[in-house]
Amino acid sequence: MSDACGCGHDEPRPENEEEHEPEKLWQVTEIRAAAVAGVLLIAGLIVGWTGGPHPIELALYVLALVVAGYTFVLSTLKRLARGKIGVGTLMTIAAVGAVLLGEVEEAAMLAFLFAISEGLEEYSVTRTRRGLRALLSLVPATATVARGGREEVVEPGELRLGEIMIVKPGERIATDGIIRSGRTALDVSAITGESVPAEAGPGDEVFAGSINGTGALDVEVTASAQDNSLAKIVRIVEAEQSRKGEAQRLADKIAKPLVPAILVAAAAIAAVGSLLGDPRVWIERALVVLVAASPCALAIAVPVTVFAAVGAASKLGVLVKGGAALEALGRIRGIALDKTGTLTRNRPTVIDIATANGTSRAEVLAVAAALEVRSEHPLAKAILAAAGDDITPAENVEAVTSAGLTGRLGSVTVRLGRPGWIEPGSLAADVERMQHAGATAVLIERDGIVIGAVAVRDELRPEAAEVVAGLRRDGYHLVMLTGDNERTARALAADVGIDEIHADLRPEDKARIIEQLGRQRSMAMVGDGVNDAPALATADLGIAMGAMGTDVAIETADVALMGEDLRHLPQALRHARRSRRIMLQNIGLSLAIITVLMPLALFGALGLAAVVLVHEVAEIVVIANGVRAGHAEALTPAAQPVEKAADTAVAPM
């Protein structure tokens, strides 16, 4: 919220005040003060209507003014002492001016309505902030840990890295960890937005707040309670919510100079009017103009929408880093999708093996696995899984950038790499067939002779084609980027329904292409946040896919899809477009109110009480409209794609 024109509390929130945030509307201090002031106002009106003593009527109005004014006058004076003015300044001047003119009832009404609007603003913002921090309540109050040969029940904050948590069926997991024993189906819907349980076993990561299914688990603690995935999400979002988007900057640009301009205009109206007519009339009109032009609704128009929208997105497993990211997400018209891990499952599998020169398939796999055993390349896992456990590692293994691996098995030199670096020879037709099938082909050479080719394919996500078709219907321009070869890329692109592809790309090539595409339209890049980091940073908006527990993805991207379901992408886009429309609606309404009220106030068509009432009702409407951004539709269990277990065996020939 703009410091110059913020409509809410002028003093910064103490760090420990989160513990005392109101959970109910009646717990808000301003609302309580307004309720008391309202009772006093009604009592004063009743005394006046019934012809009661005027001193009593006046005393009731004064008390109402003091009670309601206490919520903003003191903070306004403190700001003035620091040389800062805001909407509270305008309201204070208007209230004091009305009292000096003898309109105590009008001043009390102004203070009463302004206290209500401040209370509603405070409640709406704290409610959305509290909704985000409610993610932390997913962490259980206790955890069971194995210590000294026995089980102990401790608080999550007492868990130490490397300890073994014992998670029983139906329990929530207290912090992030790695399963050391046991198998289960984890409910991660509260974190990733995906309601289909995820199968998990030894070696798999688990995250704080997940619900264990039917199997007992031993989980090694890998993150403290203060630094687990849920705490990290909340911390990042709360920090990033201060990043202002264009709509909020526009509101600030308008509101910041508007407050002093209103003061100058009101002073001019009072001075000139007093020279030409009745000073009392024109001073009163100047005070009414002061209130009519107040940008209170404008100041809260965007922040409340951003808080609500970002909080709702986090509950769907979409991490949006503040207003700037939210607006960019709602504004983009082009999307570049990385192939591996975004359109595909990122679970490569050996699907075919071709042999040459009398070599068996087992020999080809043995040589390939010997070179890949210490490699971190995605294809290595597939080859090692197909080769089995009996692997003799090669010696002196060296990686050749963008080409392959070379090493020695005994006294023989062996190589594994892409076609071109190793000539396929008699396997040329087999390599072409593999690539047309959408697989990546690697050639294996022993002692200078090609002995085989291995086809590895990363299958498309089951929902990929559906998502691409939906994005195209919504008018997005789609591009696929991949480091894979052209033939493999075109085969997968045809299956998923993308026409424009760029293949054989290195990370820096992806960034260069994103920059070129960005000259034509606003572009988003969707990738895994590691190899795609340069492209994510270059794009107008970086979106990390499957970012749960991945620090690089969360830090690099503007938006992170925590789960693996690609359908969260169009869901996030729809949510952002709707939220951006709400922001613009709020700004338009706020400006329209000021534009209409000012001339009516200037020419005496509306009095102070009427202007205050219209203004504060408008602010309530703006807040209510902004809170609508806090509603987002989650994926239903019935709509979730059925995940099939990855087949790590070699497909039959």
Summarised one tens digit per residue, pLDDT across range 451-465 is 999 999 888 889 999
d(CA 132, CA 310): 8
pTM: 0.71
Highest mean pLDDT (candidates 323-332, 357-366, 624-633): 357-366
Could you give the angle at the alpha carbon of 294 between the alpha carbons of 292 and 296, nearest 5°?
Answer: 130
pLDDT band at 12 (very low <50, low <70, confident <90, very high): very low
CA-CA-CA-CA dihedral for 514, 516, 520, 521, to nearest 10: 20
d(CA 40, CA 105): 11
Q: Which residues contact 115 (CB under 8 A, 6 or more apart)?
A: 30, 31, 33, 34, 37, 68, 69, 71, 72
pLDDT at 285 over 70: yes
Torsion sign, CA atoms 85, 91, 96, 101: positive
* pLDDT (tens digit per residue) in 367-402: 999 999 877 676 888 899 898 888 889 999 998 877
Q: How many CB atoms lie within 10 A of CB 491?
A: 16
- b/e 24-60 (16+ beta carbons within 10 angstroms → b): eeeebebbbbbbbbbebbebbeebbeeeeeeeebbbb
% of residues, the chain, pLDDT over 90: 30
3-state secondary structure of 390: coil
State the average pLDDT over residues 619-648: 63
3-state secondary structure of 362: helix
H/E segment holding residue 297: helix 296-315
Q: How many CB atoms lie within 10 A of CB 75?
A: 18
Instruction: State the first-to-last Cα distance of the chain, in angstroms, to the nearest integer.
Output: 64
Q: How many CB atoms lie within 10 A of CB 163?
A: 18
Question: Mutual orientation of helices 568-602 and 246-276 as an angle, nearest 10°?
Answer: 0
State the average pLDDT over residues 19-26: 62
Q: What local confidence, expressed as pLDDT, does residue 643 receive? A: 39
Residue 410 · residue 337 · CB < 8 Å: no
pLDDT band at 423 (very low <50, low <70, confident <90, very high): very high
Strand ranges of the sheet holding 449-457, from the earlier edge strand across to the other edge: 349-355, 449-457, 440-446, 412-417, 404-409, 395-400
d(CA 37, CA 32): 9
Highest mean pLDDT (candidates 10-14, 259-263, 269-273, 504-508): 269-273
CA dist list (Å): 650 to 538, 621, 647: 39, 62, 8
Amino acid at site 359: T
CA-CA-CA-CA dihedral for 440, 446, 447, 450, to nearest 10: -50
d(CA 141, CA 132): 18
Q: What local confidence, expressed as pLDDT, does residue 62 receive? A: 93
Q: What local confidence, expressed as pLDDT, does residue 578 receive? A: 94
Beta bridge partners of 140: none
Name which of 11, 9, 8 is nearest 82 in CA terms.
11
Select which of 176, 252, 338, 458 is catalytic: 338
Beta bridge partners of 454: 353, 442
d(CA 201, CA 214): 12
pLDDT at 639 over 50: no
Strand ranges of the sheet holding 541-545, from the earlier edge strand across to the other edge: 318-320, 559-561, 541-545, 523-527, 334-338, 477-481, 500-502
State the average pLDDT over residues 426-435: 92
d(CA 502, CA 560): 23
Place of tokens 């069971």: 144
State the average pLDDT over residues 75-97: 79
pLDDT at 243 over 70: no
3-state secondary structure of 243: coil
State the average pLDDT over residues 92-110: 81
pLDDT band at 549 (very low <50, low <70, confident <90, very high): low
pLDDT band at 536 (very low <50, low <70, confident <90, very high): confident
pLDDT at 652 over 50: no
pLDDT band at 651 (very low <50, low <70, confident <90, very high): very low
Q: Length of the chain in residues, anyone?
A: 653
Residue 144 · residue 218 · CB < 8 Å: no
Residue 549 · residue 210 · CB < 8 Å: no
Highest mean pLDDT (candidates 65-69, 255-259, 287-291, 528-532): 65-69
Higher pLDDT, 377 or 354: 354
d(CA 448, CA 431): 18
Q: Which residues contact 285 (CB under 8 A, 6 or more apart)?
A: 269, 270, 273, 601, 602, 604
Find the range with the poorest average confidence among 10-24, 382-396, 447-461, 606-620. Answer: 10-24
d(CA 520, CA 453): 41
As a whole number, the mean pLDDT across the chain is 82
Q: What burial class does residue 133 get, using C-beta atoms within 10 Å of its C-beta: 0-12 exposed, 13-18 middle, 19+ buried?
A: middle
d(CA 580, CA 287): 34
3-state secondary structure of 238: helix
pLDDT band at 242 (very low <50, low <70, confident <90, very high): low
List the structure tokens of 645. Answer: 């277990």
pLDDT at 163 over 90: yes
State the average pLDDT over residues 64-84: 86
338 in active site? yes
- b/e 597-617 (16+ beta carbons within 10 angstroms → b): bbebbbeeebbbbbbbebbbe
Strand ranges of the sheet holding 143-147, from the earlier edge strand across to the other edge: 150-154, 143-147, 164-167, 217-221, 177-181, 205-206
